[in-house]
């Protein structure tokens, strides 16, 4: 009887002391990846793209505003610019796109010019770089 009681006690302790699987972000592409997370709890953060312009002019013409689309969906417009070398991630006069784990996104910038004309620029951004912010220059070179 004592053996049975001892076995049941040990079994009860073993069952109740089992730890819960660690929750967190277990997607390697995320900026907050947790290598010890077993259960994905939906908290993964992926690269944020910041679209910006570094000048008020393109091809000698003055820019009035820039509309940005990502994969065919409008993400915003802006009217200002940031000189080269200034940190622009998440600042004013930019358009922001928070990726959802995709490895690349296609973007298009429609550049509205004073006087009524438009110009455009487009490209593809690799978003599998595992960084919090990536900047994208919208004006043609």
Tell me the two tokens of residue 85. 């070398």
What are the structural domain ranges in the chain?
48-137
Q: How confident is the model at residue 19 (pLDDT cuts 50, 70, 90)?
A: low
> By mean pLDDT, which of 26-35, 80-89, 103-112 is the weakest?
80-89
Assess whether pLDDT exceeds 90 at residue 21. no
Do residues 47 and 127 lie in contact, with contact meaning Cβ atoms separated by under 8 Å? yes
pLDDT in tens, 40-82: 898 888 889 999 999 999 989 999 999 999 999 999 999 989 8
Q: Which CATH number fits domain 48-137: 3.30.9, 2.60.40, 2.30.30, 1.20.120?
A: 2.60.40
88, with CB counted inside 10 A (0-12, 13-18, 19+), is buried
pLDDT in the model for residue 85 = 58
Do residues 138 and 52 lie in contact, with contact meaning Cβ atoms separated by under 8 Å? yes
Minimal CA–CA distance to 62: which of 52, 53, 75, 70? 53
């Amino acid at each position: 009887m004592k053996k049975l009681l001892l076995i049941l006690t040990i079994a009860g302790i073993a069952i109740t002391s089992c730890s819960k699987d660690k929750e967190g972000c277990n997607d390697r592409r995320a900026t907050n990846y947790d290598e010890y997370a077993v259960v994905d709890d939906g908290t993964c953060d992926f690269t944020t793209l910041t679209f910006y312009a570094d000048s008020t002019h393109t091809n000698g013409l003055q820019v009035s505003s820039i509309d940005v689309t990502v994969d065919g969906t409008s993400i915003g417009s802006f009217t200002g610019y940031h000189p080269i070398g200034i940190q622009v991630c998440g600042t004013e006069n930019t358009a922001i796109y928070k990726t959802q784990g995709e490895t690349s996104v296609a973007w298009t910038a429609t550049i509205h010019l004073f006087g009524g004309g438009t110009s455009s620029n487009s490209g593809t951004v690799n978003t599998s770089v595992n960084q919090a912010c990536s900047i994208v220059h919208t004006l043609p070179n």
